[in-house]
Structures are given as structure tokens and as C-alpha cells.
A and B are shown apart, each in its own frame.
Chain A
Amino acid sequence: MNEMLQQLLNGTIIGSSYALLAVGLTLIFGIMRIVNFAHGEFYMIGGVLCFYLIDLLHLNYFVALFLAVVLAMLFGAVLERSVLRWLKDQSIDSTIIVTIGLSVFIQNVVLLAIGPVPKSIPSAFGNAPLAFGPLTITPVQLFVMVVTALVIVAFHFLLRHTYIGWAMRATFSDRDAARLVGIDTDRIGTLTFVLGSGMAALAGALLGSIYLVYPSMGGTAVLKAFIIVIMGGLGNIMGAITGGLLLGIAEGLVSGFISSDYSEAIGFFIVIAVLLFKPQGLFGRKGQV
């Protein structure tokens, strides 16, 4: 029983980062209608930047974390304004091919730059695990959970209680009506992409602090993000959050009780099951943010 609770906890921690990653992806799809296969590369860049900012510039962990996210967001802005603008009127297949191309390009350029050896982000906390009753959690795990929770809550607040957030929801729901009240939907698009990529980078840096950082980590991550987004319904933010947590927990349970090799597979089976029985997603309802 205790073991299961522990796995649940571990799964929730990972799941919260998954949720962050997936929210970014679903946001980009919902508002910009872009299926961004390169999303995983922002995840990877977050982790890689964080490592090198500490390793090369000897910055403090928290500063490095912050800067890594900011730099990734800047990169996202540049990418959106240049390449993605050209994709505006193209078919879904074309955007998929282009974002796959970007993903492959970025991933391998980074591979060339830093080599394939995984890196470990040095911990800013002690290693002594903290005990909460029968469960243990390391300080960095606690940090990851707290930060992702804070960011998700802050984002939720943004969407519900600020004009920018409303403008995003309005653009998502009915683009023309948004333009007619004077919302600059192009700028909202850029902002969305930047936010989404920032979330991915943060998730990458955080999970990279627990595990390892390596150039191809974006590949598996983006598949999981897509699985979560399909589970939760394309464009559905609550769905992405719930789906992320569920996947994390499911992986943890499978890993703990069956085999860690198959923990990767559980996501695929879930998504196929969802697509067969409820293709609009477990929580899918078109238009809802």
C-alpha cells in the first residue's frame, strides 16, 4: 500500500511537469491551430540551457532556471515571427511536416554542439529526502511540484482574470469576433506561442533537474505531450492538466508494478483506446478553454 502511494506521488510529480508541457502544446493548437512537433525541442532547450548557464557561467540554479525559460521564450518569438508566419494558410499536413523538420533540425544541431552524453543539472538543494509520513520526497522533487503547480495556477489566473487572458480565450473561441472588438489576433498568436514554448522549456529544465538532460529528450517528450493532448481533447486546457497527471501516475504505476520498460507503452495504449472510444478526448468539448 505504501509502495503504491509512493508511486502515486512520484507519478504526480512527473505528471505535473507533463501537464505543463501539454498545456503549452494544447494552447498553441487551440489558439493558433498549429500542431507543433517542435514543442519537444523547447523542452530540451530549457534543460540544456539551464545546465550550461550553471556549468559555463556558474549562475545560481534559480537564476539559471529563470534565464533558460526566458531565452527559450525569446527563441520561440523569433521562430514564430519568421517560419511559422509563412505557414498561416497552409494545410495541417504542411505545418506538421515543417514543424517536424524544425524539430529534427534543432535537435541535431544541439546534438552537434554538445554531444550525446546526458548531463545532470547540479542540485541546488540537499539530497536528503524529506519524509511526509510513509512517503518520501527529495527537495528537488518538491521544488518541481511546487513550481509547476504555481505556474499552472498563475496561468489559470491569467486566463480567467486578465484582459490578455480573455483576449486569448476569445481568439481561441471565435477569431473573427475577437478581431472585430479590436483584439490583435496576430500578436495574441505570438504571445501564445511564446507562453507555450516557455512552459515547455520550464518543464524540461525542471524534469532535467530530477533526471538527465540530453539532446534527444524532446523526441519522447513531445510524443507524450501529444498523447496527453489527445486524451484531454485538442485545445482543452483542463484536459491537458488532468491528462498529464493521469499519464504520469499511470506510468509510475506500470513502472513500479509491471516493468519500467513498458511504462513508455502505457501512453500509446491509452491514446489508442481514447481515439477508438472517445475521439474528442476524455474531456473534449469543442471550444472550451
Chain B
Amino acid sequence: MLRLDGVDVMYGQRQALFGLSLRVEQGEFVTLLGANGAGKSTTLRTISGLLKPTKGSIEFEGKTISGMPPSAIVKLGISHSPEGRRVWPFMTVEENLLLGGYVHRRQRPPESSVGRIYELYPRLYERRRQLAGTLSGGEQQMLAIGRALMSEPKLLILDEPSLGLAPIMIDRTADLIQEIHRSGMTILLVEQNASLALQMSDRAYVIETGRLALEGDSATLLKSDYVQKSYLGAA
């Protein structure tokens, strides 16, 4: 469904990605792991169109999307919940959600699709008139994911949803994500919390300083101590 081929990306002066290739098939749950600064977020931002590759190509459902503006990419069915959640703190929960459906607002009025999100996340319905900035971290993450779902994407990209959350909220968020996957959504997840990510996903890629270091089945990687070694440098 999604295919990156030999992608190079510059971040200001320095090169952030070096010939990165990966794929996500329909219905899969793929995770991208790696230490901080390795290039995981850069990869996601390039897929969504916030960054443009200097080399290589990105294809989605057969169409080349590298070089397209983010608005076009969202329209094609990729939705990205960014690192740090980035909800609009001075707008209400409902306004945040409705804007999630902005790109299709003429064909599918967000007012009609938002009910679906409220059913999934009654908490958001309760707080729908509250300013998003007053929500707790976990609720904001729920809102960010709900907002991303509003455009009825075919591929959902999640960037470090566990960041800054208390452990119990991380559990809840993880359940939420697995529920979404179970309903048939294709998911690409970036996480620093490797154990969590490997438990939820089917396949995993490990990125090290902008290059693909490892690719494999999540369950296998979870059992091996490779990840522990690479994260804590025991090698």
C-alpha cells in the first residue's frame, strides 16, 4: 500500500535519511523503531508531505506522492497524528475533531462523521465543548487520534503516541490503537517505547542514523535482545 524507495531527505543542512526503503501492506500494523534522532519522525513527516525527499520516491496505492503537498496526501487517504499530539489548545475538542475532516468537508460534512468518533471515544463527547488545552495528556492523545481518524484514512500514521503519558494512559492509548487496527485500519507507528510497539505490531523496522538497520517480524524481535542491546548499547 505504501512504499518508500531509496529515500534521501535533508533536514536543513544535514542529511537525515539515507536511501531509506520500506513498505506497509494493506491491513498491516508496522512499527518504526530507533533511538532519538535516528530519523523516525523525519520519515513520517516525509511521508505526509511536510518534508520533500531529495532522492528516491514514495508511492501510495500505486500513486507517487513524494513531492505532493500535505493537503493532497491527506486527500488520498493518509492521516498523520503528529509527535506531541499538537492539538489546537485554544479551540474546543469538537472544533479540533471537525477540522480533522476539513479536507473532505464538501463531500463528507464533518458534522456527520464526528458522531462515529464520539461513539468510539465517549470521553471526547463529554468534553466536546472544552478547550483542547485543558484536557489531560491521555485525553489529548485520544483527541489527536480521533482527529486523524476523521478524514477516514486508509493509512493511519502515529508518531510517538506514548510520549509524555503516564503509564496507565499509555495502556489505554495502546488499547485504543489496537482496537483501531482490529477494525481493519492499516497502521504505521513510530515509538520510542520499543516493547510496547513490538507487542502491538506485525512487523518492525529499526532505523539508525537515517539508515535502515534491521527489518523483521515483531514477535521475533521482541524475544531477541537486539533491541535492548541497541537501545542501551550493550553490544
| Residues of chain A having any CB pair with chain B under 8 Å | 163, 166-167, 169-170, 173-174, 176-184, 287-289
- Chain A residues near B100 (CB-CB < 8 A): 181
Given the contacts A166-B95, A176-B50, A176-B82, A183 and B102 also touching, CB distance less than 8 Å: yes
Nearest chain A CB to B222 CB, angstrom units: 30
Q: Assuming A169-B90, A170-B99, A182-B74, what are 19 further A-B pairs, CB within 8 angstroms?
A: A166-B91, A166-B99, A173-B89, A173-B90, A176-B82, A176-B86, A177-B87, A177-B88, A178-B99, A179-B50, A179-B70, A180-B82, A181-B99, A181-B100, A182-B102, A182-B103, A182-B151, A183-B71, A183-B102
Given the contacts A167-B99, A177-B82, A180-B50, A289 and B90 also touching, CB distance less than 8 Å: yes
Given the contacts A163-B105, A177-B82, A184 and B87 also touching, CB distance less than 8 Å: no
- Chain B residues near A166 (CB-CB < 8 A): 91, 95, 98-99, 102
- Chain B residues near A163 (CB-CB < 8 A): 98-99, 102, 105
- Chain B residues near A183 (CB-CB < 8 A): 71, 99, 102-103
- Chain A residues near B89 (CB-CB < 8 A): 173, 287
- Fill in one digit per residue for B98-131: 1 if any A CB lies within 8 Å of its CB, else 0: 1110110100000000000000000000000000
Measured CB to CB, the nearest residue on chain A to B109 is A163
The number of inter-chain residue pairs (CB within 8 angstroms) is 69
- Chain B residues near A287 (CB-CB < 8 A): 89-90
- Chain B residues near A289 (CB-CB < 8 A): 90
B40: interface (CB < 8 Å): no
Q: Which 8 A-B pairs have the closest CB atoms?
A: A182-B103, A182-B74, A177-B86, A179-B70, A182-B71, A173-B88, A184-B71, A180-B80
We find that the number of chain B residues with CB closer than 8 angstroms to chain A is 27
- Chain A residues near B88 (CB-CB < 8 A): 169-170, 173-174, 177
Interchain CA distance A64-B219 in the complex, whole Å:
73
Measured CB to CB, the nearest residue on chain A to B104 is A182
- Chain A residues near B105 (CB-CB < 8 A): 163
B43: interface (CB < 8 Å): no
* 30 A-B pairs whose Cβ atoms sit less than 8 Å apart in the complex: A163-B98, A163-B102, A166-B91, A166-B95, A166-B98, A167-B102, A169-B88, A169-B91, A170-B91, A170-B99, A173-B88, A173-B89, A174-B88, A177-B82, A177-B87, A179-B69, A180-B48, A180-B70, A180-B79, A181-B74, A181-B100, A181-B102, A181-B147, A181-B150, A181-B151, A182-B74, A182-B102, A184-B71, A287-B89, A289-B90
Measured CB to CB, the nearest residue on chain A to B157 is A180
Main secondary structure on chain A at its contact with chain B? helix
- Chain A residues near B86 (CB-CB < 8 A): 174, 176-177, 180
Nearest chain B CB to A234 CB, angstrom units: 15
Interchain CA distance A169-B71 in the complex, whole Å:
17
- Chain B residues near A173 (CB-CB < 8 A): 88-91
- Chain B residues near A184 (CB-CB < 8 A): 69, 71
In this complex, the member of B50, B69, B90, B151 whose beta carbon has the largest number of chain A beta carbons within 10 angstroms is B90
